[in-house]
Chain A
Amino acid sequence: MTLQIEQVTKKFGDFSAVKDLSMTVKQGSMYGFLGANGAGKTTTFRMILGLLDPTEGTITWNGQPISYANSTHIGYLPEERGLYPKMKVEDQLVYLGQLRGMKKNDAKISAHNWLERFEVPHYANKKVEELSKGNQQKIQVIASVIHKPSLIILDEPFSGLDPVNVEMLKKAIMDIQKDGATIVFSSHRMDHVEELCEQLCIMHHGEAIVRGSLREVKRGFGRQNVRLKADFDLSFLSQIEGVDSFKPSIEGGVFQISEERTAHELLRTALTKGEIRYFAIEEPSLQDIFIEKVGKEHA
């Protein structure tokens, strides 16, 4: 049960929304999609769902192309909230569950369990338009998982939720994942992706400019920070080969390096001069990477 995207390109006329995208999402894993608006995330999701066909390349789930024949195994939460405003929450969930191949009674039971889990069982007979945005989002999430899908695609699941609800939703998503579901989700919040995803990719102008496991991505960024604290001036260390830049601070300074062995070289050289009170190799945050990779072109 692997989601396999192979060399997928999607063109709208002359415009390429997605260029030569390849990725593999293993069963039971959580995959994060990052990217600025218009980067091609939604188009990719629509292709995974079978709403759009790729111009080139193939997308398979469990070795088969995704179509309406296996749509009952797939759950989808669109970026824009989509529910019938005038329909009652329970009716709505049952209807959407039925469209995903559930029996009416099963859908009813499942809907109630989920409402219970999100601590909103009293909304079952309310119209969606009467709920707050955050609560609507909960209903939307339930609609995408009510039928126990094995592949779940969540486009911006956390937007519009307060921190308490974000935690509740995160926990629910992790529980669903533990039950064996494969989850692909997009977010603007780097911390959510760092926290939840083993695998991720950053899309920019339709291309996956960064991709891999969180560790690989951070390693692959090619830069690390070495923070040193000492009682003497450290500026002479910037002469060492492999140091890209040096930012002095009151207690010492931060060296940006490209290779890890430079860090050891730095420490050794520094120790020859005197005592070092603090030494740390710091990983770049996803935020740094994203801004570095995507933000530069924006600026």
Chain B
Amino acid sequence: MRDFWTIFKQSFLTKAKTKSFVITTLIVVAGIFLMANIATIITKIQDAGVFGGGPEKDTIYVVEENGQLLDPLQQQLNASESGITLKATTKTVDELEQQITDEKIASFLVLELDETETIQATYTSENANAFEQPMKVREALQTVQTNIKANSLELSADEVVQLFSPIQFEQDAVSASSKSEEELSQARGLVYVLIFVIYFAVFYYSNMIATEVATEKSSRVMEIIISSVSPVKHMFAKIAGVGTLGLLQIALFGVAGFIALKTSSSDLTTGVFSFFGFSNVSISTMIFAVLFFLLGYFLYATLAALLGSLVSRTEDVQQLLLPMTFLIIIASFIAFSGLGNPEASYVQIASYFPFFTPLVMFLRVGMLDLPIWEPILGIGILLVSIFILGWFGSRVYRGGVLMYGASQSLKDIKKAMDLGRK
């Protein structure tokens, strides 16, 4: 057991002390803080006028012959807190277009009330990408139009309200496991982020394992190590060491993210954060995320160690890892596509296939109210697979680390096992 801890500590510390690891971690932490405060930073920069001011975006110039629509529209825009100011102008359309091109004004509006008392409006801005402002103007104009029509029909204000009273529409689902649409979209953001984290972490750290093993083999230090301790012990101590490092790194990012969000001025309930459902982090989802990361990591890291033990040169690692890479990419495809429809039958089936379980079962657990036996069954299958792969991997590993030569195909697994049988 002491050997185990010696190897564990060695693989943990040497990796943790590498420059690349420290720098990557710092960059990501810095990135998290930057992301959390990006809105504030951009506002600050705009306030400072770094972008040279430009035309006043919230002012719309209005061309109208008799000026009867300007005031009601402005009232309506104020009422909806749009922050848009209208300014009447007597300039011609051509002149205004030239001013937009010269970046003196941002947009203008041509208003006209035709004989049927219908509003004809044309909104002009530099390009057609403007989306929010014309929509607000259009909504305000629609209300103005409604009032004009109501007036001409001699309807009272109450009658207008009745006419436009909204219906009550709610979506309900029969399936016991499904969450309400509101819950679903709240869960989606968090699950999306966590699936990505699990996917990335499992991929990154199992790659690290394979490279480590191949490096030790190519530098031939492996031969000394396995003459001191059993290859199986060496393999699992290494996997555990790097896994702990991974967990620590992710925890570090988590804490950094938490502090960044708490200290940033951004409100978690609005904007991008509400989309990710961060205002409503479910504890069970987080626990499942850690659990599935660990299980997924152990499964893939064992496979990676097995494959890494077959190559003699570090350059060949990626090639041999290709099948594993495909597996995890397919799993992520299923998981990401399942975000939109977590109850699809292919998602359900895939969640029990051990190589997909860490991502796909996590998706289902996060998105749906699954009966508890489903994730437990998935975890059970995963555990059994880890043990089988661990047993199989240690056989291959034992022989693989002794094999040198141009070995770089999966056929070598059999050769390694023959050698590993001793």
Contacts and interface: CB of A to CB of B under 8 A. Distances in A.
Interface of A: 12-13, 46, 49-53, 68, 71-72, 74, 76, 78, 80-85, 87, 95-96, 98-101, 143-144
A81 B220 contact: yes
A165 B220 CA distance: 23
Nearest to A144: B224
Give the one of B222, B226, B229 with max A CB within 10 A: B226
Interface string B222-236: 111111111000000
A52 B220 contact: no
Contacts of A87: 14
Contacts of B268: none
Contacts of B14: 87
Given A53-B422, A87-B14, A80 B229 contact: no
Place the interface of chain B in its size category.
20 to 34
Given A76-B224, A99-B3, A12 B419 contact: yes
B219 interface: yes
B304 interface: no
Contacts of B146: none
Contacts of A96: 224-225, 228
17 contacts: A12-B419, A46-B402, A51-B402, A52-B402, A52-B419, A68-B229, A71-B228, A76-B223, A78-B224, A82-B220, A84-B216, A84-B219, A85-B219, A99-B229, A100-B228, A101-B2, A144-B224
Contacts of B7: 99
A8 to B, nearest CB: 13
A166 B226 CA distance: 28
Interface in B353-406: 402
Nearest to A104: B6
Contacts of B226: 51
B418 interface: yes
B10 interface: yes
Contact of B422 (A52, A71, A84, A99): A52
Contacts of A12: 418-419
A54 to B, nearest CB: 9
B394 to A, nearest CB: 14
A82 B224 contact: yes
A82 B222 contact: yes
Contacts of B216: 84
B5 to A, nearest CB: 9
Nearest to B224: A82
Interface string B198-230: 000000000000000000100111111111111
B6 A95 contact: yes
A71 B14 CA distance: 25
Nearest to B6: A98
B221 to A, nearest CB: 4
A80 B224 CA distance: 10
Given A51-B402, A68-B229, A143 B418 contact: no
Give the one of A49, A74, A98, A101 with max B CB within 10 A: A98
A144 B227 CA distance: 11
A124 B222 CA distance: 22
B324 to A, nearest CB: 25
Contacts of A78: 220, 223-224
Given A51-B226, A68-B229, A99-B7, A13 B418 contact: yes
Contacts of A80: 220, 223
B20 to A, nearest CB: 12
A68 B230 contact: yes
A99 B6 CA distance: 7
Nearest to B217: A82
A83 B219 CA distance: 6
Nearest to B216: A84
Nearest to B398: A51
A99 B225 contact: yes
A100 B7 CA distance: 12
Given A51-B402, A52-B402, A52-B422, A82 B221 contact: yes
A163 to B, nearest CB: 25
Contacts of B402: 46, 51-52
Interface string B262-297: 000000000000000000000000000000000000
Q: 7 tightest CB-CB pairs across the interface, nearest first?
A: A82-B220, A53-B422, A99-B228, A82-B221, A80-B220, A78-B223, A76-B227
B21 to A, nearest CB: 13
Nearest to A45: B227
Nearest to B233: A68
Given A80-B223, A81-B220, 15 more contacts: A51-B226, A68-B229, A71-B228, A71-B229, A76-B224, A78-B223, A78-B224, A82-B223, A83-B219, A85-B219, A98-B2, A99-B6, A99-B225, A99-B228, A99-B229
Nearest to B13: A91
A57 B108 CA distance: 97
A96 B229 CA distance: 10
A160 B217 CA distance: 21
A124 B83 CA distance: 70
Give the one of A12, A68, A85, A87 with max B CB within 10 A: A68
Contacts of B230: 68
A98 B223 CA distance: 16
Nearest to B222: A82
A205 to B, nearest CB: 20
A152 to B, nearest CB: 12
A151 to B, nearest CB: 11
A144 to B, nearest CB: 8
Interface in B1-39: 2-3, 6-7, 10, 14
B227 A71 contact: yes
A49 B227 contact: yes
B219 A51 contact: no
A82 B227 CA distance: 12
Nearest to A103: B2
B419 A82 contact: no
Give the one of A13, A50, A82 with max B CB within 10 A: A82
Contacts of A100: 228
Contacts of A53: 421-422
